[in-house]
Amino acid sequence: MAIFFVLVCSLIFVAIASYVHYARRRQGEGQGGGYGGGHAKAASPKLPPGSMGWPYLGETLQLYSQDPNVFFASRQKRYGEIFKTHLLGCPCVMLASPEAARFVLVTHAHLFKPTYPRSKERMIGPSALFFHQGEYHLRLRRLVQGALGPDALRALVPEVDAAVRSTLAAWDGRVMSTFHAMKRLSFDVGIVTIFGGRLDERRKAELRRNYSVVEKGYNCFPNSLPGTLYHKAMQARRRLHGALSDIMRERRERGEPGSDLLGCLMQSRGDDGAPLLTDEQVADNIIGVLFAAQDTTASVLTWIIKFLRDHPKLLEAVRAEQAAVREATGGGRRPLTWAHARSMALTHRVILESLRMASIISFTFREAVADVEYKGFLIPKGWKVMPLFRNIHHNPDYFQDPHKFDPCRFQVAPRPNTFLPFGSGVHACPGNELAKLEMLVLIHHLVTGYRWEIVGSSDEVEYSPFPVPKHGLPVRLWRENRTADRKGGSESDDVEDMIVSHSN
């Protein structure tokens, strides 16, 4: 009884304290201060409209208890294209217009720094380019863009072609999670991009094994106790660093740093005579590129396969375009070239529409480094700022009938700042052309050499953290000339294959 009485008193105390805190905060917001801590007086700009939710918790529970697209869209409908909320312990301003996205990411980017949880910076490495601004960031961005420029991509096409062929051959006759198959493909393409064709299978397997552990701990609660996913991930991250250091040492001993991305990072000097990057800086950026190259690209590839399957007439039109390309490669006897990839007009529009519909990067995080006024509203220093790409991509003012999959809309270029699948400004994804090349090559070999069918429902979506069809879109794939025996095993065999593939 005494324990129950103490518990009730404690709950009452917490409720009263929360109410007092909430009332004070609401009073502060009414004066224009809110979470900004007195940034404004009566004549100063006011905070954007919106709800900060419960004390301490904000609206985090609401966000994670429903489809995040519904969460953001409902608030935009209620409050407009600029609104405030409180998520994951941080006060936030959401921006859902092209003009606002340009303001934050391009014209006034110096007022908004990239921001990530400290645990994620430790996991990837604090020297990775997307955690920085200024000269160091520009130096690294030039290096990465140079290694992924048109000349480098021309040379990479045969390697990407080989990786796609290998992925589809391993899938042939089986039911697999599309997302997991595409993750493996994207990892292979990332490895080729970073190391050229110079990495032996033992090293490649070592990097894949450790990267897989790091990835599993990336979005976990940062608990460093032994045995937790985060602790295991940090241990695997140290092994990744060690493996990369060994590869760099071996290259130096041979006197051959290489012309691939790793070689470019190893040999780089700044325009002002800055010293070479340290091995730790190089390793952080290599791990960062692996992260950037895998899940996002794999998610888009998964959606492309679903969208093509959902639209049979479009699929046949793409198949006809790719059949002509296949003829140009001698019926598939020769690998694709850069010129072939640049000739796939309809397929390219399918990719653009898939990027718009799926909007894998739904928003990006920035943090105001000073009090900022935008359209009469205050964005206080220290607040998180989130341009909402998905809301812009699905706004009927910019894309007619936005929930309809229609690649024809990209026959005309979209209005400026309304299509931002790779971000915008100095922190836009430097590997976007490589990602599109990977998509073009995959579609070519998929539609000219294979047939496929989706196993089960494909209408539900899960977030891990990027949106993908449920269970990663289980698909049965078979070669064009094996149609008659494509069913192969029993339905129970298919289910077993699907479970094993998804768990891997």
CA-based R_g, the chain, Å: 25
Paired sense of beta strands 384-387 and 366-368, if any: antiparallel
Assigned token pair, 343? 């000739």
Say what percent of the chain tops pLDDT 70. 86
Instruction: Decide if 447 contacts 164 (C-beta within 8 A).
Output: no
Q: Which residues are annotated as a binding site for heme?
A: 429
| Helix (H) / strand (E) containing 149 | none
- Residue 270 has a pLDDT of 58
Q: 0.85 cut: is pTM over it?
A: no
Output the DSSP codes for 201-269.
Answer: HHHHHHHHHHHHHHHHHHTS----STTSHHHHHHHHHHHHHHHHHHHHHHHHHHT---SSHHHHHHH--
Q: How far apart are CA 187 and CA 205, in angstroms?
A: 11
Contacts 24+ apart (CB under 8 A), 101-107: 101/387, 101/389, 101/392, 101/417, 101/420, 101/424, 102/416, 102/417, 102/424, 103/374, 104/366, 104/385, 104/387, 105/364, 105/366, 105/387, 105/423, 105/424, 105/425, 105/427, 105/428, 106/424, 106/425
CA dihedral angle for residue 356, residue 362, residue 366, residue 371, rounded to 10 degrees: 90
In terms of residues, how long is the chain? Answer: 504
- Asked if the bond preceding 465 is cis, omega within 30° of 0, the reply is yes
Q: Select from 419, 407, 455 the least CA-distant residue to 176.
A: 455
Specify the pLDDT at position 292.
Answer: 83
Q: Write the CA distances from 202 to 62, 207, 209, integer angstroms.
A: 46, 9, 11
Q: Using one digit for the tens of pLDDT, what is the confidence trace for 357-405?
A: 999 888 888 999 999 999 999 999 999 999 999 999 999 999 999 999 9
| Residue 21 pLDDT | 41
Q: What H or E segment, with its residue span, contains residue 405?
A: none
Give residue 353's pLDDT.
Answer: 98
Q: What is the mean pLDDT of the chain?
A: 84
Q: Taking 70 as the threshold, does the pLDDT of residue 6 lie above it?
A: no
Q: How far apart are CA 41 and CA 43, in angstroms?
A: 6
Rounded Cα distance between 190 and 212, Å, is 14
- Which helix (H) or strand (E) segment holds residue 90: the answer is strand 90-95
pLDDT at residue 322 tops 60 = yes
For the chain, give every residue range classified as CATH 3.30.43.20: 44-126+360-393
Quote the CA–CA distance of 297 and 153 in Å, as a whole number: 16
Identify the pLDDT of residue 482: 57
If you average pLDDT over residues 270-290, what whole number do you get? 85
- Residues 391 and 403: their CA atoms lie apart, in Å, by 12
Q: Contact, 402 vs 394, CB < 8 A?
A: yes
d(CA 331, CA 321): 14
Convert 230-253 to b/e letters by CB count within 10 Å (16 or more is b).
bbbbbebbebbbebbeebbeebee
Residue 56: Cβ-neighbour burial (10 angstroms; 0-12, 13-18, 19+) = exposed
Average pLDDT on 285-289 reads 92
**Calpha distance 47→32 (Å, rounded):** 6
Q: How far apart are CA 262 and CA 245, in angstroms?
A: 11
**φ, ψ dihedrals at 345, nearest 5°:** -65, -50
Top-confidence residue, 127 or 501 = 127
What does the alpha-carbon distance between residue 321 and residue 343 come to, in Å, rounded to a whole number?
Answer: 9
Q: How far apart are CA 189 and CA 258, in angstroms?
A: 18
| Residue in 369, 370, 417 with CA at minimum distance from that of residue 392 | 417
pLDDT at 43: 55
Q: What letter represents residue 55's amino acid?
A: P
Q: 127-198+258-359+394-503 belongs to which homologous superfamily?
A: Cytochrome P450 (1.10.630.10)
- All residues at 6 or more sequence positions from 232 whose CB lies less than 8 Å from its CB, including other chains: 213, 216, 217
pLDDT at 233 over 70: yes
Cα(174)–Cα(195) distance, rounded to whole angstroms? 31
Report pLDDT for 223: 81
> How many alpha carbons lie under 13 Å from residue 309 in its C-beta half-sphere?
22
The CA distances from residue 98 to 390, 395, 405, 417, 418, in Å, are 11, 10, 21, 5, 5
Tell me: pLDDT of 256 over 80.
yes
Residues in the annotated binding site: 429
Position 454 pLDDT exceeds 50: yes
What lies within 8 Å, CB to CB, of 15 at 6+ separation is none
pLDDT at 12 over 50: no
In the chain, which residues fall in CATH 1.10.630.10? Answer: 127-198+258-359+394-503
The residue that leads in pLDDT, 196 or 317, is 317
Sequence-ordered list of residues with C-beta below 8 angstroms from that of 130, at least 6 positions apart, any chain: 114, 116, 288, 292, 427
44-126+360-393 carries CATH number 3.30.43.20: yes
Per-residue pLDDT at 94: 95
Q: What per-residue confidence (pLDDT) applies to 200?
A: 87
